[in-house]
């Protein structure tokens, strides 16, 4: 893919490859490792603005940044109360982050029914108010949304223009409607239409699992960069490929996984790490020899030390 630096409200990126905010996955250690591989901007899991407002310890756990993490740091917040979103954006909790991303694309039913996430694509005046209030933080603001809330309402071009007019410095478009969730074809035409309506950088998201996928997504949409989501869960080394670095060999990949285990345990403790790394390793071995036999044993591994021993015998 075509590598280039982007200007986000005066912030210069090292490249145009982004790690998506992934609930349950993009913790501080994972973001750091993906950034070292070549992700130029990394986002936290989505963070509840109300959770911050009500001083939720669990919510604040999502805001950690690992020491030495390179690149630009983004925090994604969600909510539909403009005042609450402004308070979160202006809080000391978000002070360490370079970019505040507003989630206007989450399709999950409980989020949508609450008027958050992709539901905001049904209410452009409210979405505009939220963006303008978050922009009062003085930080760079990005907005992530979809091509539309339904196949009968593909409104991403108008939504993109609204985002820019309301103060957004960058937008990311997931090339599927809310009804499609995370599967099905990516609507290149809709993303291209939105790109043609704005002057701020546009990041395209959806279906990036290989360098060919990323190149095709950029060529078909005219986007300024790509965001990798599920592709990073199965293959975090994709960032090395996309950024033109040498692809890690099997030994380097194994060392990556062992390091992820060690650093996650050091930051989050054994209980969290064991559960988290079992599911991550399960993703990493998909398609590998004997993965079907290994996975049931892996998912029952009770300690980090036993998991560490299993990883040393695995091929990645």
Q: What is the DSSP string of the chain?
A: ------EETTEEPS-SEEEPP-TTT--HHHHHHHHHHT-SEEEPSPEEHHHHHTT-HHHHGGG---TT--SEEEEEEE-S-HHHHHHHHHSGGGTT-SEEEEEE----HHHHHTT-GGGGGG-HHHHHHHHHHHHTT-SEEEEEEEEESBTTB--HHHHHHHHHHHT-SEEEEEEEEGGGTT-S---HHHHHHHHTT-SS-EEEES---SHHHHHHHHHHH--SEEEESHHHHH-TTHHHHHTTPPPP-HHHHHHHHHHHHHHHHHHH-HHHHHHHHHHHHHHHTTTSTTHHHHHHHHTT--SHHHHHHHHHT---
| Catalytic residue, candidates 34, 69, 75, 106 | 106
In the residue annotation, 106 being an active-site residue is answered as yes
Catalytic residue positions, numbered: 106
């Amino acid at each position: 893919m075509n590598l280039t630096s982007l200007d986000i409200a005066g912030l210069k990126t090292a490249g145009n490859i982004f790690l998506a905010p992934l609930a349950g996955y993009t913790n501080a250690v994972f973001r750091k490792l993906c950034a070292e591989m070549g992700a130029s901007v990394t986002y936290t899991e989505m963070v509840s603005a109300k959770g911050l407002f009500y001083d939720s310890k669990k919510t604040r756990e999502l805001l950690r940044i690992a020491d030495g993490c390179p690149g630009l740091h983004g925090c994604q917040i969600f909510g539909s109360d403009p005042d609450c979103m402004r308070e979160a954006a202006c809080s000391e909790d978000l002070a360490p982050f370079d970019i505040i991303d507003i989630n206007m694309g989450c399709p999950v039913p409980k989020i949508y029914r609450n008027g958050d996430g992709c539901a905001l694509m049904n209410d452009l005046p409210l979405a505009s108010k939220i963006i303008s209030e978050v922009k009062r933080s003085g930080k760079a603001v990005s907005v992530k949304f979809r091509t539309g809330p339904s196949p009968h309402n593909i409104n991403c071009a108008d939504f993109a223009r609204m985002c820019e007019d309301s103060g957004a410095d960058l937008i990311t478009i997931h090339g599927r409607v809310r009804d499609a969730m995370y599967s099905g074809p990516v609507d290149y035409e809709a993303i291209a239409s939105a790109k043609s309506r704005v002057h701020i950088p546009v990041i395209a998201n959806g279906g990036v699992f290989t360098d060919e996928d990323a190149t095709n997504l950029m060529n078909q949409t005219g986007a300024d960069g790509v965001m990798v989501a599920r592709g990073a869960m199965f293959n975090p080394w994709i960032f090395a490929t996309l950024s033109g670095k040498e692809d890690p060999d099997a030994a380097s990949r194994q060392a990556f996984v062992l390091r992820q285990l060690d650093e996650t345990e050091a930051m989050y403790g054994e209980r969290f790490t064991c559960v988290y790394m079992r599911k991550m390793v399960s993703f990493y071995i998909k398609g590998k020899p004997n993965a079907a036999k290994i996975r049931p044993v892996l998912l029952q591994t009770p300690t980090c030390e036993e998991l560490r021993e299993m990883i040393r015998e695995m091929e990645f």
